[in-house]
Amino acid sequence: MDTPGQRAAGTSNASAPAPDSEQAVFWRNRATGLFDRIPLPAAFCDARGTVLSANHAMASEWGTLPGRLVGRSALDLFRPTAGRLDPISEALRLRRRSRYPIEVSWCPPTGVERHGEMTIDLVGTAPDAPPNLLLILRIPEAPAPALPTGRTKESGQTSAMEARILALAAAGCTSTRIATEVGLTADGVNYHLARLSRRWGVTNRTALVARAYVKGVLSPHAWPPAPAAAEPPVVEGGFA
């Protein structure tokens, strides 16, 4: 309640923000930003395994946007291939904060089954409330198969989405423009570019595009730039 002095001065307790509330919002926003930039696929789920939020890496694994995974069941997305879920159910019942690794498989839109390890952390702030689940997926890097000629096929190291992003980057598009073209956010585009840069050991976008041409990901004969798989056939004896 405002004091007479506050009313006379035109001030009010109701308009003053609560410091604790401001700090809570600040740290929540910061945690959300960090979560979204984790290079590993990650998702928060409730105690029943329903996805509450997912980062760009997790959405990329499914060829979609993070918001479209919200409401999905983790057991619909991933199938345990080794280990049992009973210890996790028991930990949830007893309100334990523990970590459980489990081998999983899944079939993304590409139709090729993939395998990895899912780490399930039981997290929460209220001791009496059921903990939420933090899922972090680790996918082993598969070596590229050797061709009969002794050369390594490197274009297969990129997904169709990555190849499209590289082609648009080669054309000089900004992250915002690329995001509009491929249906991602600018952060999602930057995530893909940063992951490719780490994978290929380059430090800037120009070097990344050059590397994509050397690896055969982008067609050297197409303009505007296009993925090598989309390169039009060359007609023998024709004119450019």
Average pLDDT per block of 10 residues along the chain, 240 residues long: 51 54 57 68 88 88 86 90 72 71 83 83 72 84 46 56 90 89 82 85 88 88 80 41
Q: Which positions ≥6 away from 239 have C-beta within 8 Å?
A: none
The pTM (predicted TM-score) of the whole model is 0.51
Q: What is the layout of strands, in order, in the sheet containing 132-138? A: 51-54, 42-45, 132-138, 114-123, 99-106, 79-82
Tokens 């061709």 sit on residue? 147
DSSP state of 42: E
